Amino acid sequence: MSHVQPVRMGPIEIRTICEGWAALALADEAPGQTVDWDGERERRPWAFFGSDRWRWHVHAFVVQLPSGMIVVVDTGVGDFPPYAPWEESVEDPWADVEAAEVRHVLVTHLHADHAGGTVIGGAPAFPNAMVHVHEADWSAFAGSTDADDYVARHAMSSLLELGMISITDTDREVAPGVQLRHTPGHTPGHRSVIISHGDDAILLTGDLLHLPTQAAHPGWWSSHDEDPQLGRPRDGCCCGELPTMGGGSRFRTSRDRSDRWDPRAGSGSITARRAGPVAGPGRSSRASDDLQRKGSPACRVES
Ligand SMILES: [Zn+2]
Ligand SMILES: [Zn+2]
């Protein structure tokens, strides 16, 4: 069972699949930026491990729509190993997901911890689903065939032959209330996913944000971003409850704000509302309170 409780937004349910977490070195994360790591650790202890590492979670999301349609956002590592050895892993975290019932798989980008689970043992992991990938990622990683690249592009080639992959460069609605939004920087074709119902929306960020500090400091970037200037969320940052960071995060927001959000322009913003209860190491009222104080003017948390 995932340490992150499901979120419900009207008739929509979003479950978080957690495959596990590994400890990564803080020293590698924010080159050239002055970060008060001791202060960050005190404010958000759940995000850190020991004195010099942080907890990188691998998350994916299973979205059940009112029609009964199931949409998966990111797919975990699949046959790939974790990027670093697990400190904790979850045995068969996908056990409760009926793979054959999934109709759409939205891959935020092609790094193996987000797209590795689209193909398992050479076969589509979701046999009746269309997998959606941005064209810029598909092109950028065309030559990534080495396991050390940690990219799932090559393993996904069989989806192309089977006609089970949609490679486009457009922002669009793939299912009622489920929108793709191009948010480049971490990778050229990185996408975020906005799920909306009525006036509410939930944003699934992929690796747009990698560290909890980025939610409080929208101008900061991660060393994992291929283009840091594009990758930093700037004023288009969103914030809210932070169940965990590092391998896919979610934020509750409003439909109106999400419709206008454009991190590339640096002018859009999302006003996040408090999400429902979130369990686990990321659950900390202090963390969310802190975000209310420290969020930029464009990053306001409503109660
Ligand atoms: Zn997790
Ligand atoms: Zn990534």
CATH of the domain at 20: 3.60.15.10
The pairing of beta strand 178-182 with beta strand 250-254: unpaired
- What's the CA-to-centroid distance between 280 and ligand 2, angstroms? 23
Domain total in the chain = 1
Q: Is residue 1 domain-resident?
A: no
User: In angstroms, what is the span from residue 186 Cα to ligand 2's centroid?
Assistant: 6
Residue 9 CA to ligand 1 center (angstroms) comes to 21
Q: Is residue 2 part of a domain?
A: no
Spatial separation of the C-alpha atoms in residues 19 and 257, rounded to whole Å: 31
Distance 96 CA to ligand 1 centre (A): 16
Exposure string of 36-70, with b = 16+ CB inside 10 Å and e = fewer, is: ebeebbebbebbbbeeebbbbbbbbbbbbbeeeeb
**Ligand with the closest atom to the CA of 245:** 1
Residue 256 lies in a domain: yes
Identify the nearest ligand to the CA of 114 by its number.
2
Distance from the CA of 265 to the center of ligand 1, in angstroms? 31
CA of 173 to the centre of ligand 2 (A): 23
Domain-embedded: residue 199: yes
Strands 130-134 and 7-9, bridge-based pairing: unpaired
The chain-wide mean pLDDT, for the chain, equals 77
Tell how far the Cα of 69 is from the centroid of ligand 2, in angstroms. Answer: 27
Question: What's the pLDDT score for residue 271?
Answer: 30
In a domain, 33, yes or no: yes
Return d(Cα 267, Cα 197) in angstroms, integer: 24
Closest CA to 9 of 178, 173, 262, 131: 178
Say yes or no to pLDDT of 192 above 80.
Answer: yes
Under a CB-based contact definition with an 8 Å cutoff, are residues 263 and 296 in contact?
no
Confidence band of 1 (pLDDT split at 50, 70, 90): low
Q: Which of the pair, 27 or 285, is modelled with greater confidence? A: 27
- 217-231 pLDDT per residue, tens: 666 777 778 776 665
Instruction: Report how far apart the first and last C-alpha atoms of the chain are (Å, whole number).
Output: 28
Please answer whether residues 107 and 114 qualify as being in contact, where contact means their C-beta atoms are separated by less than 8 angstroms: yes
